[in-house]
Amino acid sequence: MKARLLRKIHFDKNSINYKLWAYFVLFAALLLSLLWLLQIFFLNTYYQEMKITETNRIATVIAEKYGTEDFVDTIRSLSISNDMYIQIETDDAILFSPGNESGRMPIYMYLPEMSTVRKLLFQDNQQSASVIIPEKGPGNGDRKTLAYASFLERTADSKVILYIFSPLFPVDSTVGILRNQLIYVTIISLSIAFSLSIYLSNRISKPIRSITKSAERLAAGEYGVPFEGGHYTEIIQLSETLNMTSAELKKTDELRKDLIANVSHDLRTPLTMVKSYAEMIRDLSGDNPEKRRAHLEVIIEEADRLNLLVSDLLDLSQLQTNVTPLEKSDFDLAEAAQSIINSLGVYESRDGYKFNLEVPAEPAMVNADENKIKRVLANLLNNGVKYCGADKEVDIRITSQGNTVRCEVSDHGMGISPEEINQIWERYYKTSTHHVRATRGTGLGLSIVKEIMQLHGGRYGVESKEGEGSTFYVELDRER
């Protein structure tokens, strides 16, 4: 029980959950520390700097008003509203001093400070001078006075001096109040920050943990496992990408299983035939030349079929992995189609098939890998022969459309159903349409067409109507 509890409260310091929590709490602690520094430790310094700035501002206002009609009223108003003692004097007279009705302290209360700041003003030979002077006497404690003096007028014959005295009250009581308040603020703020950090870290890391578990299932071979996103765009995009990956892996796994099943079947059938006819030659037809020749023809035909299957598998693998680069050149697509038709002449002479080729008046020049495009045309023509109608006719039509050359191969067979038309480009997929000609293809022809056209960046597709036939087409860019 104790070990289980320890495992439950264990923190992984490298986890997103822990780091989000730690960073959030650390940020809150730094913010509160800054608040403590500003409000407690620097409050006295800040207070003095503020009073000095305010005194300089008031002195500037008085200097600007000097000599105007409302000069005295302005000084009196500033003195009362800012709790300052303001006096203006010359060498032999006082031009302005607050009266008793203003509630200001009497003049003799600031005589020591006045003497000190006056001495600084004349000693440094400056336009203004200021000094903070501690107040002496019983009951004053740490009270201080800001003494300021400046020349409103300064000539050889006359000097007009402005004095401003502002008491600096101790801030210890204020600091004590703020300290008590900040203790409560700190406790409440850290509690809220702690709670929010746990909530947010769990909310952010929960979908990531879910994705991790699904990824572990995917790694264990459970293809097609769903990935659930969270409430954040990045995690939603990640889950969508992983869902597509999972679906593709499931599809690839199914194709792999189908491939193994089909290849096993396609290899077993001719191997069985080879073995059977070899045994027949050994046991039955060894002394009969005609039977021996017929049996050997079957063995050779089955060996050719095995060779074609292995060759197609190798070609498809090389196309999918881009092992063999494209060797592009400019050539006439119509001439390439005619050469493929010539190579299939045995179908015309022996089986009665007819190939109808329609080409434009001008050469249909394209820029592509000629050998691979001939492979495309050969596969489409063989597919047309396999699925053509009772008329045994296959139409080949080449047209030029702007910067594109299009080749169409049409048959008049049973067509392809809408449910199957998007699947015919997959390896080993066979439609439900019956063949007119009993052929022993590898089932990889259209997959090879797709891979070659994708390598060229060309377009390919099929248009079909059930009961009327199908038209396969490829499109290539014209010569450069």
Confidence bin at 337 (pLDDT 50/70/90): very high
Residue 320: pLDDT band by 50, 70, 90 thresholds?
low
Quote the pLDDT of residue 40.
62
**Joined tokens for residue 14:** 């490298």
The pLDDT of 163-169, averaged and rounded, is: 84
What is d(CA 432, CA 48) in angstroms, rounded to the nearest whole number? 95
User: Residue 32 — pLDDT band, cuts 50, 70, 90?
Assistant: confident
Highest mean pLDDT among 104-113, 146-155, 197-206, 286-295: 146-155
Count Cα atoms within 13 angstroms, Cβ side, for 430.
Answer: 14
Mean pLDDT, the chain, rounded, equals 79
Q: How would you class 476 by CB atoms within 10 Å of its CB: exposed for 0-12, middle for 13-18, buried for 19 or more? A: buried
**Which pLDDT band, with edges at 50, 70 and 90, does 434 fall under?**
very low
Confidence at residue 437, expressed as pLDDT on a 0 to 100 scale:
41
Number of helices and strands in the chain (H, E): 12, 12
The reported pLDDT for the residue numbered 324 is 73
Q: The sheet that has 459-465: what strands, in order across it?
A: 354-358, 393-401, 404-411, 469-477, 459-465
Residue-wise pLDDT for 222-280, tens only, equals 888 888 877 777 778 888 888 888 888 887 777 677 767 766 766 676 777 778 777 77
pLDDT at 111: 81
Over residues 381-403, the mean pLDDT reads 88
Higher pLDDT, 462 or 254: 462
Q: What percent of the chain has pLDDT over 70?
A: 81
> In 220-332, which ranges are continuous DSSP H helix?
233-283, 289-321
pLDDT of residue 215 exceeding 60: yes
DSSP letter for 436, please: S
| Residue 124: partners with Cβ closer than 8 Å, 6 or more residues away | none
SS3 of 162-211: EEEEEEECCCHHHHHHHHHHHHHHHHHHHHHHHHHHHHHHHHHHHHHHHH
| Top-confidence residue, 363 or 36 | 363
Integer Cα distance of 304 and 30 in angstroms: 79
- Quick: pLDDT tens for 93-108: 888 877 544 445 555 5
